[in-house]
Structure 1
Amino acid sequence: MIFAKELGDTLRGALTDDPRVVLLGEDIADPYGGAFKVTRGLSTAFPQRVRTTPISEGAIAGVSAGLALAGYRPIAEVMFGDFLTLMFDQVVNHIAKYQAMYAGQATCPVVVRAATGGHRGYGPTHSQSLEKHFLGVPHLRVVAASLFHDPREVFSDFLGRDEPVLYVEHKLLYPQHLTLPVNGRIGDLLATSEGGPLPTVRLSAVPVEDCTVSVLAYGYQAMLAAKVIERLAMEEEIFAELLVPAQIAPMDWAPVERSVAVTGRLVTVEEGADGWSWGTEAASVISRRLFGRLRRPVDVVASEATVIPSSKTKEASILVGSAQIEAAIRAAAR
């Protein structure tokens, strides 16, 4: 089950099941089918409801808002998440506000899909993870794609609510295989889920009672972290529990709190730039709730706060990868 194909099949199912669903985005029509080929074949099957737009993220946001207010369920693709900045005003000041401003009499359930992240040498303006700028926006949900969450269940949740949502999809997830829990396991790791349709997935080689570190990560970084904790467990008996939320804002902190209450240590991992981030919010919340039970300060792992270079070698030194995750887990486990 390749993630990009599963996501495309999910969108096809949404278009089939609900005539209100429309897809908008740059170059999403056939034969191109989108920059990452997620929408390939959909404009042929649904020519009136899968529409290529001009190269204007502001126009995509405005048309999507209008369609949503008129009763449609627009799903807007942003080819590169860097250009969410061109949608920011309409998302924050309009799309996210309508339902509260009009006491529920108007709803604007826009789903914005954005391809984010680096590690592909795309350079300063096509490699960023900018979702932290949308965290904490009232009435806007931010959800991160992962290999541990079924996109069908994710989009069923999106289309079953009247709330707007930003869905961030790291580019390096597209060619990966989904690894959903089977019989309580993912590979050699124990797997449990908490929290309804958009759960937090918990992964560990041993029960949490035997773990010494809790690790909190989402998206592509969660995939890297899972490989790290599996290797450390098998090769060195360093045991960590990984928590992978789907919805990163507003956050359900209960699973994280339960894990850290046992381990006494937390490492957060994200690819976005260091500072004023998801990880710092996690550190604030968990430090406040479990201050007396923490054995060391929360360790926030994030990318260097600078421009992302095109050189893959230099890019790798700036963006968070497996080496930084492993080093943080080792330091916390001491």
Structure 2
Amino acid sequence: MSMRCGQALNAALHEIFERDERVYLLGEDLLDPYGGAFKISQGLSTRWPDRVLATPISEASMFGTSAGFALRGYRPILEIMFGDFIALGLDQVVNGIAKFRAMFDDRVTVPLVVRTPMGGRRGYGPTHSQSLEKLLVGVPGITVVAPSECHDLGGMLADAVADDEPVFFIENKLMYGRPNRRPEGGRVGDLSCLEGEGRYPALTFSGNGFGPADATIVTYGGMLPVALDAATELILEHEVFTEVVALGRLLPLDLEPVLESLGRTGSLVTLEEGTLTGGVGAEIAARVQAEAWGDLDGPVVRVATRDGIVPSARSLEDEALPGVEDVVAAVTALERVGG
């Protein structure tokens, strides 16, 4: 049976700590038996009490202290309890962490990993349910990674710690309790799956063995199950075949797998849990239209959370966040446009 995603991340942290004594963990409520708000850090403070540092409730100081660790040659991991709280440390990121290497002419590096959960569907309300990746993808000098439940979570986290650039490692909340469904023999369940190369690879899924397909759905993180469920419904109910590209890295944007899929399908839908205006999908759409205009048979359609707050009431939250029906509607609308 597959390890759950939360277990995979916890196991990876233990392996990383075992291998490299330069790795420290900083954040709120990390010490056992609590082990962090989502229990991803459980057991670390018991085994390495001097290297797990519980911090005061001050995200700005947490970012600044972690940057100092990195500048002194350590490899700190900063756990931000909820992704919404990165806004409290954004000045440290935008005006320091992202710039130090360039400002000091490559004489220093900032090998900092910021782990944080994003996303809704748990009824946590407006300030604990947001997906704020779009605030990060416009910041030069950092790397933004957002793996899905089908990615090699442990391997990607280890790669992030080994990276000399500051890495934001975005973890969707719902992913923690789901199986880490890794491709086996080029398949995930009934779907064919191609895994890209490099540190933070994309995954491309097809229900048609990468034969003729009608559209590409590009997504990341916790939206992958929604995209795959939509792809199944499109086949069964509409006889429409799609490819689903699950990005591993959002910044620098890993566009090549999207362009490769688009070359086979001619149509593109972007799917994200962040709000629509100024989202990751907008950047993907702009880049695709600049680099592959000739491959597009119609407009790029974006599916995202409705602009506004994420409601606390679960029924209203479900209405605000993108679902399978929204993706199906977007793809079928493209099919009508394309004829």
- Equivalent residue letter for 1:68: A
1:269 aligns with 2:268: no
Q: Is the 8 A contact 2:112 2:161 kept in 1?
A: no
Per mean C-alpha deviation after superposition, the further-off stretch among 151-160 and 161-170 is 151-160
Gaps of 5+ in 1: none
Q: Is the 8 A contact 2:217 2:271 kept in 1?
A: yes
Q: Is the 8 A contact 1:204 1:230 kept in 2?
A: no
The separation in 2 between residues aligned to 1:4 and 1:132, in whole angstroms, is 24
The separation in 2 between residues aligned to 1:147 and 1:333, in whole angstroms, is 29
Task: Give the equivalent residue in structure 1 for 2:159.
Answer: 157
Normalization by structure 2: what TM-score?
A: 0.96
Q: Is the 8 A contact 1:108 1:162 kept in 2?
A: yes
Task: Give the equivalent residue in structure 1 for 2:242.
Answer: 240
- CA-CA distance at 1:81 after TM superposition: 0.5
> Sequence identity of aligned pairs in percent?
43
Task: Give the equivalent residue in structure 1 for 2:294.
Answer: 292
> Following superposition of structure 1 onto structure 2, how do residues 112-131 of structure 1 map, counting pairs within 5 Å?
112-131=114-133
Residues 185-227 of structure 1, C-alpha deviation per residue, up to 9 Å, x if partnerless?
0000000112322111000111334110001000010122112
Per mean C-alpha deviation after superposition, the further-off stretch among 282-291 and 165-174 is 282-291
Q: Is the 8 A contact 2:227 2:244 kept in 1?
A: yes
Task: Give the equivalent residue in structure 2 for 1:200.
Answer: 202
Task: Give the equivalent residue in structure 2 for 1:45.
Answer: 47
Q: Is the 8 A contact 1:189 1:230 kept in 2?
A: no
The separation in 2 between residues aligned to 1:223 and 1:167, in whole angstroms, is 19
Task: Give the equivalent residue in structure 2 for 1:220.
Answer: 222
Residues 283-316 of structure 1, C-alpha deviation per residue, up to 9 Å, x if partnerless?
1111122223311100011111101111111111
The separation in 2 between residues aligned to 1:286 and 1:25, in whole angstroms, is 38
Q: Is the 8 A contact 1:81 1:130 kept in 2?
A: yes
- Aligned equivalent of 2:182, options 168, 180, 183: 180
Per mean C-alpha deviation after superposition, the further-off stretch among 72-81 and 226-235 is 226-235
- CA-CA distance at 1:237 after TM superposition: 2.8
- Equivalent residue letter for 1:233: I
Q: Is the 8 A contact 1:188 1:230 kept in 2?
A: no
Task: Give the equivalent residue in structure 2 for 1:230.
Answer: 232
The separation in 1 between residues aligned to 2:202 and 2:235, in whole angstroms, is 21
The separation in 2 between residues aligned to 1:19 and 1:226, in whole angstroms, is 40
The separation in 2 between residues aligned to 1:178 and 1:235, in whole angstroms, is 28
> Following superposition of structure 1 onto structure 2, how do residues 1-334 of structure 1 map, counting pairs within 5 Å?
1-334=3-336
Normalization by structure 1: what TM-score?
A: 0.97
- CA-CA distance at 1:236 after TM superposition: 4.2
The separation in 2 between residues aligned to 1:152 and 1:120, in whole angstroms, is 24
Q: Is the 8 A contact 1:215 1:267 kept in 2?
A: yes
Residues 218-254 of structure 1, C-alpha deviation per residue, up to 9 Å, x if partnerless?
0010122112213432454321000011101111211
The separation in 1 between residues aligned to 2:161 and 2:41, in whole angstroms, is 18
The separation in 2 between residues aligned to 1:168 and 1:159, in whole angstroms, is 14
- CA-CA distance at 1:37 after TM superposition: 0.8
The separation in 1 between residues aligned to 2:25 and 2:335, in whole angstroms, is 46
The separation in 2 between residues aligned to 1:75 and 1:333, in whole angstroms, is 45
Which secondary structure state, in structure 2, belongs to the residue aligned with residue 180 of structure 1?
coil
Which secondary structure state, in structure 2, belongs to the residue aligned with residue 208 of structure 1?
coil
The separation in 2 between residues aligned to 1:61 and 1:107, in whole angstroms, is 15
Which secondary structure state, in structure 2, belongs to the residue aligned with residue 167 of structure 1?
strand
Q: Is the 8 A contact 2:4 2:177 kept in 1?
A: yes
- Equivalent residue letter for 1:309: P
Which secondary structure state, in structure 2, belongs to the residue aligned with residue 23 of structure 1?
strand
The separation in 2 between residues aligned to 1:317 and 1:155, in whole angstroms, is 33
- Equivalent residue letter for 1:275: T
